[in-house]
């Protein structure tokens, strides 16, 4: 068997993209180091739960040789999904699955996914607490505590505000116009069994009046609640729980969602006061790309940041890592490595654009289209089918979806 060319690769960021890339590179015998700005994996919560998709995230898990470990952690009942209006009139309801009757999008907690990936990496390949300041033209990495050099390839998996991306382009993410509040209901099943039954181990997405409220079951027994609406970009700073008493934040939310279904108002009332955060949503332009720069590339949110309304962010990031590893594996010299990374970028631009378009379309539909969700549900469902099953199946399903909702709306 031909031995891989002894490249030295620097990966910035130990999130799903960086760790997936590192894991696959370790399997094919290519040297790499991951530099992570956080001091340890326990520094912060990794957020809620995400569904891995067959063509992207699940494919990457299998390429990384981690499918058996994933199956031990996967929550197929988390595939349960309701999309409704503010009065809880349902426009889409999907049942939770099992390992034998999955809808192709099993849930896993972000914390568990990262832990699985981290534990699969060779010991010592991650350097924690290395906060990147910049990357220079000679591919030297400038950290707050010193420099690192001698790399054949730098891969920025360092998220929305990537320092690596600045070597390639001066494009920065722009504000989507949507901000919101992130809340947690801890130990929901025992403290609030009615709320737990309402969420049904899955997710509830509700929309109305240019606002949304979502609830998602997390594997630790908590329920993550998000509220989103069109706001000024400064709202996040002005309304942060660091500045306002959490009780004031909750009272403000109660006013914002006055008149919504009682089940939804209960989500806000039950939320823990000590676990409240505010967040603004940013995105890179749909179709964003760059001229290849030999020796450096970016993947995941650093390459195609989008709002969460297509559900593909982490999935695309892991697929990027899988694809990039394939292109690196086929390289035998530094020149061929550079050529293959350039080909990878063209492939990534093409793969990412449909999800970018869908995310942007859903955001505009949910928050800026009168009558949502009723007025946009067909577009949402057909877009999701196309994304998960491919263009051909999506095209065949779209007329059926539109006709089905026409009948539903005629009778409701």
**Amino acid 4: pLDDT:** 56
Instruction: Decide if 388 contacts 53 (C-beta within 8 A).
Output: yes
Nearest in space to 6 (alpha carbons), one of 249, 331, 231: 331
306/349 same-domain check: yes
Domain encompassing residue 274: 176-282
262/190 same-domain check: yes
350/294 same-domain check: yes
146/22 same-domain check: yes
The set of residues, in sequence order, having a beta carbon less than 8 Å from that of 155 and lying 6+ positions away, is 9, 10, 11, 12, 18, 21, 164, 296, 297, 298, 299, 324
Nearest in space to 385 (alpha carbons), one of 370, 400, 375: 400
Residue 398 lies in a domain: yes
Residue 217 pLDDT exceeds 80: yes
Residue 292 lies in a domain: yes
Average pLDDT, the chain: 93
Q: DSSP H helical segments within 93-242, as ranges? A: 110-119, 188-191, 193-199, 235-239
165/186 same-domain check: no
pLDDT tens for residues 77-113?
Answer: 888 999 999 999 999 999 987 766 676 788 999 999 9
107/157 same-domain check: yes
Predicted confidence band of residue 45 (pLDDT cuts 50, 70, 90): low
207/130 same-domain check: no
400/358 same-domain check: no
Q: Which residue has the higher pLDDT, 1 or 266?
A: 266
Residue 1 pLDDT exceeds 50: no
Nearest in space to 65 (alpha carbons), one of 300, 320, 322: 322
Backbone angles phi, psi at 28, to 5 degrees: -105, 10
**Amino acid 99: pLDDT:** 67
116/163 same-domain check: yes
> What interhelical angle do 110-119 and 16-27 show, nearest 10?
30
Q: Which residues pair with 331 in a beta bridge?
A: none
Q: Output the CA–CA distances (angstroms, integers) from residue 125 to 13, 259, 278, 376, in the order listed.
A: 12, 53, 34, 47
234/289 same-domain check: no
Q: What is the CA radius of gyration of the chain?
A: 22
Domain CATH code at residue 58? 3.50.50.60
**Amino acid 24: pLDDT:** 98
Instruction: Decide if 372 contacts 366 (C-beta within 8 A).
Output: yes
Residue 3 pLDDT exceeds 60: no
Residue 405 lies in a domain: yes
Domain CATH code at residue 268? 3.30.9.30
When divided into structural domains, the chain yields a total of 3
pLDDT tens for residues 272-308?
Answer: 988 898 999 999 999 999 999 999 999 999 999 999 9
Q: Which residues pair with 229 in a beta bridge?
A: 179, 211
Instruction: Decide if 38 contacts 129 (C-beta within 8 A).
Output: yes
| Least confident segment among 258-262, 316-320, 390-394 | 390-394
Predicted confidence band of residue 244 (pLDDT cuts 50, 70, 90): confident
133/242 same-domain check: no
21/129 same-domain check: yes
């Amino acid at each position: 068997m031909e031995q891989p060319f002894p490249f030295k690769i620097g990966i910035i960021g130990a999130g799903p993209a960086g760790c997936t890339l590192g894991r696959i590179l370790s399997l094919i015998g290519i040297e790499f180091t991951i530099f992570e700005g956080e001091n340890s994996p326990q520094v912060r919560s990794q957020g809620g739960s995400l569904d891995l998709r067959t063509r992207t995230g699940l494919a990457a898990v299998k390429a990384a040789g981690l499918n058996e470990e994933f199956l031990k952690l996967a929550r197929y009942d988390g595939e349960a999904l309701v999309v409704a209006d503010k009065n809880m009139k349902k426009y889409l309801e999907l049942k939770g699955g099992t390992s034998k009757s999955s809808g192709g999008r099993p849930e896993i907690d972000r914390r568990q996914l990262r832990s699985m990936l981290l534990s699969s990496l060779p010991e010592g390949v991650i350097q924690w607490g290395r906060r990147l300041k910049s990357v220079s033209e000679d591919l030297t990495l400038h950290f707050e505590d010193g420099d690192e050099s001698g790399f054949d390839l730098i891969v920025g998996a360092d998220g929305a505000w990537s320092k690596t991306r600045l070597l390639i382009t001066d494009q920065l993410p722009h504000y989507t116009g949507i901000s919101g509040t992130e809340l947690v209901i801890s130990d929901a099943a025992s403290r609030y069994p009615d709320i737990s039954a309402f969420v049904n181990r899955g997710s509830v997405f509700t929309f109305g009046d240019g606002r949304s409220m979502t609830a998602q079951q997390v594997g630790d027994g908590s329920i993550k609640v998000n509220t989103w609406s069109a706001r000024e970009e400064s709202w996040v700073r002005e309304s942060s729980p660091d500045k306002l008493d959490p009780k004031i934040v909750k009272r403000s939310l109660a006013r914002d969602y006055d008149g919504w279904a009682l089940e939804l108002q209960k989500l806000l009332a039950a939320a823990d006061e000590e676990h409240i955060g505010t967040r603004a949503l940013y995105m890179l332009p749909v179709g964003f790309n760059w001229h290849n720069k030999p020796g450096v590339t970016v993947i995941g949110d650093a390459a195609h940041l989008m709002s969460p309304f297509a559900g593909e962010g982490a999935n695309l990031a892991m697929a990027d890592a899988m694809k990039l590893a394939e292109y690196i594996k086929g390289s035998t010299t530094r020149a061929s490595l550079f050529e293959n990374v350039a080909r990878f970028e063209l492939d990534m631009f093409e793969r990412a654009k449909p999800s970018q378009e869908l995310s942007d379309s859903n955001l505009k539909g949910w928050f800026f289209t009168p009558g949502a969700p009723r007025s946009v549900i067909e577009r949402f469902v057909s877009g999701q089918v196309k994304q998960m099953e491919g263009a051909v199946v999506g095209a065949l399903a779209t007329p059926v979806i539109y006709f089905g909702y026409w009948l539903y709306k005629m009778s409701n």
